[in-house]
């Protein structure tokens, strides 16, 4: 049985589609037949194009019948990171971010205290300059870690949406 609305094939004893709630019929919907014909034509064109090109066996193993790259394989330029590795990277970057900011802030304070207690003005100016660069380095490291976290969390959310979405 096929749904008249979405074309989903379901059990023989069901009379209502679980996906869209429409009444089922025995006939295959015309839109589904057209979609299958279009897919077969595209498959034929893809096979004709592949005959002219040389591909190694590993590339052909990663390509399913419809010609698109599968989730299990990796396309050139696409990095696939497992969920647990992404969470570990996020946790490590968060910890590094917290401690680097603290280290640079404490370093700046120590350098300013040393500048105040220095005997010559030249030493004091040098310590203040070091404190300034220490603070700037801390802010830069903080910004870099935040950007990395945003990128990784964004990549994680996009990859989790891709794995959930039906295809």
- Per-residue pLDDT band for 167 (boundaries 50, 70, 90) equals low
b/e burial code for range 66-94 (CB count within 10 A of at least 16 → b) = eeeeeeeeeeeeeeeeeeeebeebeeebe
Most confident of 82-91, 100-109, 147-156: 100-109
Taking the complete model, does pTM exceed 0.75, yes or no?
Answer: no
Task: Name the average pLDDT for the chain.
Answer: 69
Above pLDDT 90, what percent of the chain?
0
């Amino acid at each position: 049985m096929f749904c008249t609305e979405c074309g989903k094939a379901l059990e023989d004893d069901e009379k209502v589609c679980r996906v869209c709630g429409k009444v089922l019929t025995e006939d295959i919907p015309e839109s589904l037949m057209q979609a299958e014909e279009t897919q077969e034509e595209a498959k034929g064109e893809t096979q004709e194009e592949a005959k002219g090109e040389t591909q190694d066996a590993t590339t052909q193993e990663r390509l399913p019948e419809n010609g698109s790259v599968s989730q299990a394989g990796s396309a050139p330029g696409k990095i696939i990171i497992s969920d647990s590795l992404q969470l570990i990277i996020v946790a490590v970057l968060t910890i590094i971010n917290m401690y680097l900011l603290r280290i640079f802030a404490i370093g700046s304070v120590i350098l300013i205290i040393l500048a105040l207690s220095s005997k010559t003005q030249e030493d004091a100016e040098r310590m203040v300059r070091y404190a300034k660069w220490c603070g700037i380095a801390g802010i830069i490291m903080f910004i870099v870690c935040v950007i990395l976290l945003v990128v990784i969390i964004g990549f994680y959310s996009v990859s989790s949406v891709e794995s959930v979405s039906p295809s």
